[in-house]
Amino acid sequence: MINTKITAQQSQDVKKLLNECKNVVIVTHSSPDGDAIGSSLAMYEFLKRKGKNPTVIVPNYFPDFLRWMNDADKIIQFDHHKALSYNHLNMADLIIGLDFNVLTRIDEIGEAVRRARCKKLLIDHHLGPEKFADVIVSYPESSSTCDLLFRVITAIGEADRLNLHAAEDIYAGMCTDTGGFTYNSKDPDLFNIIAELLKKGIDKDLIYRRIYNNYTVDRYRLMGYVLYEKLIQYPELHASVFSLTREELAKFNYLKGDMEGVVNMPLAIKGQKLSVSLREDTEKPIIWVSVRSYDDFPANELATQFFNGGGHFNAAGGKLENKTMDEALEIARNAFEAFRDKLVD
């Protein structure tokens, strides 16, 4: 028996929204990852089986290694199709937000969602949800939004509507948001959910290969460059940082998604507690920051204090605007020193 974590009131409220709607728009965060796309497409499949008319809109590009998912080709990319996106948003009688906690995370779509007069539902696992939705299901302790979505659909008694495609999407999101179940995955119910997905016919090994064994040779050359040339190690602090400029990314024909998971790799070094990556945006004066940690080191606190970000305890992110890479590296060094007492024991 899976502990859904969903209260009776939440279950009742969600069921009412999903039963009474017809035209539904599903939105997720900027630069969507596996959990964002997985939860969005799983909800899309679920709503279709309920006889609804769902549409998925994402703010911008999502990685090629997620495009194997059924109906991924039907996702509308807002920055390329604004008029079409606004048309769907204006027609919606329900907007469902997945895998984000504040409207700024969905960029320009956020203001349209805020203005929309239809009902809104938010399902998410990040801290501090903004109260823009009529019904909010927020459980930061969940490993992923896909994990939480499965619990929500189970709680309302409609898990039988999750077909094979939806099950594949949910597993993909759970897998990517836990690094292949290597972190943030201690809840026994997580594996009970996997068992239920297996009963629906998913091939978990094939899904893993589609996600993690689906890169270009340039991606692997970039990884080698990072580890050999760019990794700066602080052995006494059990921490490391690496940086990539847009010129370096261009040398390796960088595609969005090519850096997925690379920040986790230094954590394989014996004794390592903290890994930080700094990557220049290919177009804007922004340096994107990823923070990963092990055990009791609070990656989210470091990201909040030094990189204008936040996230989960062991997996967080942020950004630095209008900074040089040298300045960003100095900020990272200062962050390591500020958290010395948590890194050295």
**pLDDT range class, residue 199, cuts 50, 70, 90:** very high
Cβ(33)–Cβ(158) below 8 Å: no
pLDDT of residue 45: 98
pLDDT at 2 over 90: no
Q: pTM of the entire structure?
A: 0.88
List of domains in the chain: 8-212 (3.90.1640.10), 218-343 (3.10.310.30)
**pLDDT range class, residue 311, cuts 50, 70, 90:** confident
252 vs 182, more confident: 252
- Strand 274-280 with 239-244, pairing: parallel
pLDDT of residue 310: 87
314 vs 242, more confident: 242
pLDDT of residue 342: 94
Q: Which of 109-118, 177-186, 321-330 has the lowest mean pLDDT?
A: 177-186
pLDDT at 183 over 90: no
Averaged confidence pLDDT in the chain: 95
Cβ-defined contacts of 322-325 (< 8 Å, 24+): 322/285, 323/287, 325/243, 325/245, 325/278, 325/280, 325/287
> What amino acid occupies position 306?
F
